[in-house]
């Protein structure tokens, strides 16, 4: 089994991510079956507004967990699955499996943007157009 490591750019992006979530990402990369990189963690209010009011609309909320929360940290991270160094958008489920395994070990609760209502399927998210495969957020540290 190939061992993957977070590159320096990915590690740098863990800055201001909630420590439990950062630990979850760091643990997940040690047993993921596919390489992934950290795309986005902290988002400014301005950027969230752009994504919300922009065309195409890139988010459905102005109250994103990517914004700095009351505890001073972002609670959300976007992880891009990589195959041969290229983004593999159909492999988000594989990253999700590694993230949930890591969350279980750490004893934290997370939610995946590919299964917002946590019914174990991405089918309804695809139907509603709310599927956000790279997105993970902290529910309980
Ligand atoms: Zn996100």
Measured between alpha carbons, how far is 129 from 14 in angstroms, rounded to an integer? 28
73 CA → ligand 1 middle, Å = 14
Q: Which residues pair with 93 in a beta bridge?
A: none
- On whether the CB atoms of residues 29 and 36 are closer than 8 A, the answer is yes
pTM of structure: 0.94
Please list, residue by residue across 59-86, b when 16 or more beta carbons sit within 10 angstroms of its beta carbon and e when fewer do.
beeeebbbbeeeeebbbbbbbbbbeeee
105 CA → ligand 1 middle, Å = 22
pLDDT digits (tens, 9 = 90+) for 24-58: 999 999 999 999 999 999 999 999 999 999 998 88
Indicate whether 5 pLDDT > 80: yes
11 CA → ligand 1 middle, Å = 17
- On whether the CB atoms of residues 79 and 134 are closer than 8 A, the answer is yes
pLDDT digits (tens, 9 = 90+) for 70-110: 999 999 999 999 999 899 999 999 999 999 999 999 999 99
90 CA → ligand 1 middle, Å = 16
Collapsing DSSP states into helix, strand and coil, what is residue 107? Answer: coil
Can you read off the two tokens belonging to residue 107?
């004893």
Query: Which among 12, 27, 43, 24 is positioned nearest to 140, based on CA atoms?
Result: 24
84 CA → ligand 1 middle, Å = 23
Indicate whether 1 pLDDT > 80: no
43 CA → ligand 1 middle, Å = 9
113 CA → ligand 1 middle, Å = 7
Measured between alpha carbons, how far is 140 from 8 in angstroms, rounded to an integer? 27
59 CA → ligand 1 middle, Å = 9
């Amino acid at each position: 089994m190939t061992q993957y490591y977070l590159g320096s750019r990915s590690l740098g992006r863990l800055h201001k991510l909630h420590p439990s979530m950062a630990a979850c990402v760091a643990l997940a990369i040690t047993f993921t079956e596919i390489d992934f990189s950290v795309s986005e963690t902290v988002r400014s209010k301005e950027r969230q507004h752009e994504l919300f009011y922009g065309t195409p609309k890139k988010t459905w909320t102005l109250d994103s967990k990517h914004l700095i929360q009351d505890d001073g940290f972002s609670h959300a991270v976007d992880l891009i699955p990589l195959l041969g160094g290229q983004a593999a958008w159909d492999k988000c489920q594989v990253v999700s499996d590694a993230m949930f395994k890591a969350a279980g070990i750490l004893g934290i609760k997370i939610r995946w943007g590919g299964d917002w209502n946590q019914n174990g399927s991405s089918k309804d998210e695809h139907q509603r157009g709310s599927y956000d495969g790279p997105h993970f957020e902290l529910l309980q540290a």
